[in-house]
Structure 1
């Protein structure tokens, strides 16, 4: 099982789909399309020593226990998610959401934009999903850093260690 699949397995898709107002297939496609963008943005941030140290500090602030007892989507801090996105993408979150929307449409078999809740802007499906996924990804990384077997367990603040862990997550996407 890839690490993306591990993250996805923790997310209650029926609840997520209901919150987003879409079917489960669309919710899963949205998550599978959005996760690489989030992880890739984190990997870019970890490329510099300052970025890696900042990311390591941020990861430590997110509870690895978020998944314990099942993930409660209602308990996610969406304001925190928006802050995380601001740190990852700067002012480019809307552009990332538009690209993820396009990727998701392709994953759903060329569904025209707008046909499944897609579309640009702050009200798009992906724009509503990203602040939910950001704290989930941070908690997943925290769990890995706290002994979950990730390559950074010995040096969590090193840029190479974080980049290796994030790269391994992205590397699992080859067969999607």
Structure 2
């Protein structure tokens, strides 16, 4: 089974840093928190059957080999929609928590809420494309039958839970379990409100 370190390797940190005009260590610290934060948000939404169905539909959207694209070619508007769907009206609160955690976990300097908010819509399409590859095995189709919806929701929840439960081998000082419980717990509940 894939883990967060596999996903983190897909993120073009150096290109993101260059695009945003920030130090690469700051971009790295931000990405180390953003990726598990997105996965945790997706997992929280997948706990609800409607959220799981919505996520499965989002995974079936063909984003192409987004992880092989240049940062300037990533559809940031799609990324903004993903972030909005994952965090709802709690986007600012999540960005604040992720920034504080990134700054605390790294000697890279201050990772601001603004940096997090700029990186989130760049990283979100990469995360969804990677999850689609893991979940759908490269197929870009939704499950057809309605009765498959609950098993699909369980499967996507298992995939996301496995990513979070396995902890991060990325070298970050925060485990993903701590991230889910400490940073995002309470903000997201069982989905966005």
Q: What SS does structure 1 have at the residue aligned with 2:104? A: helix
- Per the alignment, residue 23 of structure 1 pairs with 23
Q: Mind listing any 5+ residue stretches in structure 2 that lack a counterpart?
A: 173-193
- Per the alignment, residue 104 of structure 1 pairs with 102
Matched, 1:169 2:143: no
Q: Distance in 1 between matches of 2:22 and 2:157?
A: 33
Q: Is the Cα–Cα contact under 8 Å of residues 59 and 138 in structure 1 kept in the other structure?
A: yes
Q: Is the Cα–Cα contact under 8 Å of residues 64 and 140 in structure 1 kept in the other structure?
A: no
Q: Given the two structures, how large is their TM-score scaled by the length of structure 2? A: 0.75
- Per the alignment, residue 122 of structure 2 pairs with 132
Q: Is the Cα–Cα contact under 8 Å of residues 78 and 131 in structure 1 kept in the other structure?
A: yes
Q: Mind listing any 5+ residue stretches in structure 1 that lack a counterpart?
A: none
Instruction: Count residues with an aligned counterpart.
Output: 161
Q: Is the Cα–Cα contact under 8 Å of residues 83 and 124 in structure 2 kept in the other structure?
A: yes
Q: Distance in 1 between matches of 2:65 and 2:21?
A: 27
Deviations 1:98-127 (A, max 9, x none): 000000011114x7xxx53x333xxx1001
Task: Using the TM superposition, give the Cα deviation of residue 97 of structure 1 relative to its aligned residue in structure 2, in angstroms.
Answer: 0.5
Q: Is the Cα–Cα contact under 8 Å of residues 2 and 172 in structure 1 kept in the other structure?
A: no
Deviations 1:78-109 (A, max 9, x none): 11111111111111111110000000011114
Deviations 1:26-70 (A, max 9, x none): 111110111111111101111121111111001100435323xx3
Distance verdict in 2 for CA 1:100–1:139, change over 3 Å: same
- Per the alignment, residue 147 of structure 1 pairs with 137
Q: Given the two structures, how large is their TM-score scaled by the length of structure 1? A: 0.81
User: How much is the aligned-residue C-alpha RMSD, in angstroms?
Assistant: 2.3
Runs of 4+ in 1 over 6 A off after TM superposition: none
